[in-house]
Structure 1
Amino acid sequence: MESNYHTLKRTDNQLLVITHLSQLLTYVTGFGGVLAPLIIWATQKDQVDGMDAHGKSILNFQLSMLIYSIISIPLIFVVGLGILTLILVAILAFIMPIINAVKASNGELPSYPMSINFIS
């Protein structure tokens, strides 16, 4: 039997901010920047207004940064350009979560540059 019951999503900009900032766990644990936002997104996407869009953007960004990092490693030996790419990835992966946390606190949608759309 199909139900017409729709649950209302709550507005929780603070949780959206925490979700963006949780990406910075990568600098502490090495992998928490993917796991923490994934867990928050998976458990809250149906309860928090905007969480689905924010979570997908975060995961797409994190996966993109991982791929760019992996591609950069052989480029270090081949061209030497890989070091610059790794530095750029590290800077983007640190600054963009902070910028998008501020956007989330203002009720704006996130925008992550160089992000490949894996999850839509």
Structure 2
Amino acid sequence: MQEKNHTNIATFIHLSTFSRFLIPFGNFLGPLVLWIINKDKSEFIDENGKQALNFQISILIYSLIIGLITIPFFAFSIFNGFDFMNFDLFEGIHFNLSKPSPLFYIGGSLGFLAVIGFILEIVFIIKASIRARDGVIFEYPLSIKFLK
């Protein structure tokens, strides 16, 4: 019975990352609270908690990198249509919607990559939860080991 309790706790540690849809930073707070409270109960819970937190921290870092790379592409594509020499604010601003800048396509591609990453994150969390329920430790792909 103790073993089943540990697998349930480990499963909830992974599933608690979905609390971010209800609570800001819930994807960190949920697993962190569950892991801190239960990490001394078993090595299985401890390892699953570390895996979940490492993955969430890694996803945050990857998202920040993609966001920082994407922002200049969108900014340059938006400001490409402005006429900065004309100080007549409302008549001097021109948007050319028929011919977007190539930078807009690059930024859009990076944004699309972020959406694919979000979908893969959800898939990996569900997969880790199922593995934890079955008593197997799931190692998230591309996860940086912050907690060892």
Q: Which has the larger radius of gyration?
A: 2
- Structural RMSD (CA): 1.5
Structure 2 residue aligned with 1:63: 57
Q: C-alpha offsets along residues 75-99 of structure 1, whole Å, 9 cap, x if unaligned? A: 2233414302311221122111110
Question: Which ranges in structure 2 are unaligned for 5 or more consecutive residues?
Answer: 74-105
List structure 1 runs of 4+ shifted beyond 6 angstroms: none
Shift of 1:109: 0.7
Specify whether residues 105 and 56 from structure 1 end up closer, same or farther in structure 2 by C-alpha distance, changes over 3 A only.
same
Question: Which ranges in structure 1 are unaligned for 5 or more consecutive residues?
Answer: 1-9
Q: C-alpha offsets along residues 25-56 of structure 1, whole Å, 9 cap, x if unaligned? A: 12332410110100111111101340111011
Identity of aligned residues (%): 32
How many residues get paired?
111
TM-score calculated relative to the size of structure 2: 0.69
Structure 2 residue aligned with 1:93: 121
TM-score calculated relative to the size of structure 1: 0.83
Query: Counterparts in 2 of 1:15-26, with a 5 A limit?
Result: 15-26=9-20
> Matched residues in 1 for 2:24 and 2:119: separation?
15
Shift of 1:67: 0.4
> Matched residues in 2 for 1:40 and 1:87: separation?
28
